[in-house]
């Protein structure tokens, strides 16, 4: 009987995540070059991996949903999910993951502009592309 250990599954997931991050980076370069172009590849991949981890924590699993969430976080800052109104939408159990993102994307520009005052590119901190996390 073949036994696959958790550490082996984690390694497979990591490879899959890195492939997804590369694909997402390509999509961002095509659809939102203002977010992707100024960043070196390693930094962009690290940010994407970080947003994927955060998105999964809110039940976002499908690649398109993770892409949409990554775009929101790259556009509005890595801590966008911590804002009370955003968090309330992301944690609402009555909404499907797709509806949660629809609601977030439907928030007025004034809301997003108010977030921009509190977050800038410095909010990302140093990102290690190998893990998607800030180094310790």
CA contacts within 13 A on the Cβ side of 31: 13
CA dihedral angle for residue 18, residue 19, residue 22, residue 25, rounded to 10 degrees: -90
Per residue in 64-123, pLDDT tens? 999 999 999 998 888 899 999 999 999 999 999 999 999 999 999 999 888 765 555 556
Per-residue pLDDT tens for 7-26? 877 888 889 999 999 999 99
Three-state SS for 108? coil
């Amino acid at each position: 009987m073949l036994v696959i250990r958790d550490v082996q599954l984690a390694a497979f997931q990591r490879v899959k995540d890195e492939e997804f991050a590369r694909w997402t980076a390509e999509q961002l370069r095509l659809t939102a070059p203002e977010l992707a172009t100024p960043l070196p590849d390693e930094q962009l991949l690290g940010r994407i991996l970080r947003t994927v981890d955060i998105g999964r924590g809110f039940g976002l699993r499908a690649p398109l949903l993770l892409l949409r969430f990554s775009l929101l976080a790259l556009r509005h800052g890595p801590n966008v999910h911590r804002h009370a109104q955003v968090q309330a939408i992301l944690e609402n159990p009555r909404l499907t993951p797709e509806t949660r993102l629809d609601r977030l994307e439907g928030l007025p520009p004034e809301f997003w502009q108010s977030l921009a005052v509190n977050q800038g590119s410095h909010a990302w901190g140093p990102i290690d592309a190998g893990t998607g996390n800030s180094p310790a």
